[in-house]
Amino acid sequence: MKRHLRSFVENGEQEDLHRFRTGVKKLRALLILGDSAAKDVALEKRFKPVRKIFKQAGEIRNAYINQELGKAVGENTDFIREQEQIMKITTRAFNTDKDQHRAWLRKTRRKLLKQIRPISKHHLSLYYRQRLEIIAAALSRPRFNEELHTCRKQLKVLLYNYPLAGPELDLTFNEPYLDLVQAAIGDWHDNELAIALLSTTADTRNSKETLKGLKKQATVLERQLTTLTRNFREQASPPAAI
């Protein structure tokens, strides 16, 4: 994570910021799993300073994603220009805090290394089975609201931990399928955020056309997601081959 953070400060490449945020998500997923097996929830609490960096980086990423969505549905120069300005301002503020960010990463690493404990095979299987049941219930009749985004977060915790947990599980886990589901929800959510943002600022013909394009895209994404999550439980954890 430190390498990608340093690289972004030096060159401003969005891919470096994306990789930093992905690294944070993966580590947080491990801490969530660790806390689920502990009597006292403490690991994720120790991670709060890094989550502050993550949130600040998210403001930059959101502006970048909004630009890309705006370009995809039409040349709305007003909206794109506004998002470019937001990205410049948030990037400048982020880079100004680089020394504080590095200090937070060092301190958090030391604290976590002292507290991380092994997790039993039984708990891993129980955790994965219970989470898949919860997600399956939510996706049986998907509601296109924040609940769907919560499903994606839960899926990503399972997916991020799977390289470590997979060999210890006593259930099948369809990783490729579940990755498709979380990606589809992510596309839908990004589009929804852009719609919400543009709905408050669409005061020109150009903006209204872009908003119309985003809403059409939302219909397509919802239809695709409904099809993809049909029989989710059976697809997520199919019976093991005999």
pLDDT digits (tens, 9 = 90+) for 60-82: 999 999 888 878 776 557 788 88
Q: What is the pLDDT of residue 93?
A: 96
* Closest by Cα among 61, 57, 55 to 194: 61
Give the helix ranges, DSSP H, for 74-145.
77-96, 98-115, 121-139
In angstroms, rounded to a whole number, what is the distance separating the alpha carbons of residues 190 and 70?
Answer: 11
Rg (CA), the chain: 20
Quote the pTM value.
0.84
Mean pLDDT, residues 13-25? 95
Please say whether the beta carbons of 184 and 171 come within 8 A. no
Query: What confidence score (pLDDT) does residue 41 get?
Result: 67
3-class SS at 231? Answer: coil
Task: Indicate if the pLDDT at residue 242 is higher than 50.
Answer: no
Query: Rounded CA gap, 46 and 128, in Å?
Result: 24
Taking residues 176-200, report their average pLDDT: 91
The number of C-alpha atoms within 13 Å of 46 and in the hemisphere containing its C-beta is 22
